[in-house]
Amino acid sequence: MRPGDPPPVGPAGRRRRLLGAGALALFLLFCAAHLIGHAVDAEGVHRATKPLLIPALMLVVAARGGPRLLLVALACGWAGDVLLMPDHPVAFLGGMAAFGLGHLGYLALCRRAARAGARPPRSRIVAAAPGYAVVGVAVVVTLWPGLPADLRVPVAGYAALLAATACAAALTLGPRGAAGGALFLLSDALIAAGIADGPVVPAQGFVIMSTYLAAQWLLADAVLRSPAARPPGHRSGDGPVPATPPPPARTAVRAPGRTGTTAR
């Protein structure tokens, strides 16, 4: 269901709510199993559940009537998850490219939200954008010496894209979007730190996946609650999109001196 649409009622509404609740329960179940697998170092469990996480979240989005672009962004995240599973440099580059496409999708959704009425004040943009730029640069500069030479430029480009997504989400998608963007930035910074032999945290795999899953959920939920979920051209305050009015009724009228009819 999109913002501005009337709440579903009757059997169809109940089915949609049940479908949404079931999809959310499935997503949470897969998340719990995956994170427990990390916590107890059960590699088979977390590897088996990883490809199921984002498809379950996509079911939640679909049940809530989310925009197609959000499903595409999540599908790119799923491709990135799968490509990152093998421990191989080419697979890592492919996974990073897939996530980059997902971030482009999120940026497009943020732009859609801004055009539909969530445009932030210029003063907030001026305050936020340099801050996220500084964070992105600091991460790259810190990890640069330890990164393999063939990964330095791709990681720097991806970091810029990630910081842009976090900034745009904070400006246009509200507190949930801000939290989701920040957690995505943290999760991927920890991945890069592991590659660059940089600072690590206890239970790093668990922390990376828990922050990543929270980020994807918060961003998806923020989009669903934002003007970006409205149909194109539907602006804040417009209310439900009106149905096309029926054609005027044809009324038979007598033409003077004639026995035929004409439409009025």
Averaged pLDDT for residues 76-92: 91
DSSP string across 32-68? HHHHHHHHTT-HHHHHHHHHHHHHHHHHHHHHTT--H
| 166 located within any domain | yes
Can you tell me which residue has the tokens 């930035």? Answer: 185
- Letter string b/e over residues 212-232, b meaning 16 or more CB atoms within 10 A of that residue's CB: bbbbbbbbbbbbbbbbbbbee
* Residue-level pLDDT at 253: 43
Q: Distances from the Cα of 135 to the Cαs of 90, 160, 185, 200, in angstroms?
A: 27, 10, 9, 18
The strand ranges marked E within the chain are 253-254, 261-262
Distance CA 53, CA 260 (A): 68
* Residue-level pLDDT at 125: 83
Total domains present in the chain: 1
Distance CA 216, CA 194 (A): 21
| 215 located within any domain | yes
| Percentage of the residues of the chain whose pLDDT score is greater than 90 | 63
Residues 224, 174 contacting (CB under 8 angstroms) = no
Of the pLDDT bands very low, low, confident and very high (cuts 50, 70, 90), residue 258 is very low
Distance CA 82, CA 202 (A): 24
Residues 31, 53 contacting (CB under 8 angstroms) = yes
Residues 151, 196 contacting (CB under 8 angstroms) = no
| 172 located within any domain | yes
User: Which two tokens mark 225?
Assistant: 């609650």
pLDDT in tens, 192-227: 998 888 777 889 999 999 999 999 999 999 999 988
User: Which two tokens mark 133?
Assistant: 């730029």
Distance CA 114, CA 164 (A): 15
| Percentage of the residues of the chain whose pLDDT score is greater than 70 | 83
Bridge partners (DSSP) listed for residue 94: none
Reported pTM: 0.81
Averaged pLDDT for residues 48-70: 96
User: Which two tokens mark 240?
Assistant: 């439900």
| 195 located within any domain | yes
* Residue-level pLDDT at 59: 96
Reported as type and span, the H/E element at residue 15 is: helix 10-39
Q: Residue 198 belongs to what domain range?
A: 10-231
* Residue-level pLDDT at 122: 79
pLDDT in tens, 110-157: 999 998 877 777 777 878 888 999 999 999 999 999 999 999 999 999
Can you tell me which residue has the tokens 């939290």? Answer: 179
Residue 242 has pLDDT above 50, yes or no: no
Distance CA 52, CA 32 (A): 12
pLDDT in tens, 168-186: 999 999 999 999 999 999 9
Residue 53 has pLDDT above 80, yes or no: yes
